[in-house]
C-alpha cells in the first residue's frame, strides 16, 4: 500500500504537470482539491483518465471522483480495491 501511495504521488505530479512539487511534499492525508494541492475540475477529469489507463478502472460519473480523490489515502484504497490491472 505504501508503494502504491508513492506511485500515485509520482503519477499525479507527472500527469497534472505539478512543476516544483515533490512526492514528499504531498502527505497521505492532504486534501488534493481546494486548499490542498489546488487541483481543479480538469485535473479531476485527468485523474479519471489515469485510473482508466493505468489501473483499468472506469468511472462514468465525474461526481464519483469527489470521494475517491479526497486524498492520497482514499485514492490508494479505491485503486487497491477496484484495480483490474
Residues within the interface to other proteins (CB under 8 A): 16-20, 38, 40-43, 45-46, 48-49, 52-53, 61-62
- For other proteins, the closer of residues 22 and 62 by Cβ is 62
- For other proteins, the closer of residues 20 and 35 by Cβ is 20
Q: How far apart are the first and last CA of the chain?
A: 15
- For other proteins, the closer of residues 1 and 40 by Cβ is 40
Give Cβ neighbours of residue 74 (< 8 Å, ≥ 6 apart).
67, 68
Instruction: Output phi, psi for 33, to 5 deg.
Output: -105, 175
Amino acid at each position: 500500500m505504501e508503494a502504491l501511495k508513492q506511485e500515485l504521488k509520482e503519477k499525479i505530479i507527472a500527469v497534472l504537470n505539478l512543476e516544483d512539487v515533490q512526492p514528499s511534499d504531498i502527505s497521505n492525508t492532504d486534501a488534493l482539491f481546494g486548499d490542498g494541492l489546488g487541483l481543479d475540475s480538469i485535473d479531476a477529469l485527468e485523474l479519471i483518465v489515469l485510473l482508466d489507463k493505468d489501473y483499468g478502472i472506469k468511472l462514468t460519473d465525474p461526481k464519483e471522483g469527489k470521494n475517491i480523490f479526497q486524498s492520497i489515502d482514499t485514492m490508494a484504497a479505491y485503486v487497491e480495491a477496484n484495480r483490474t490491472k
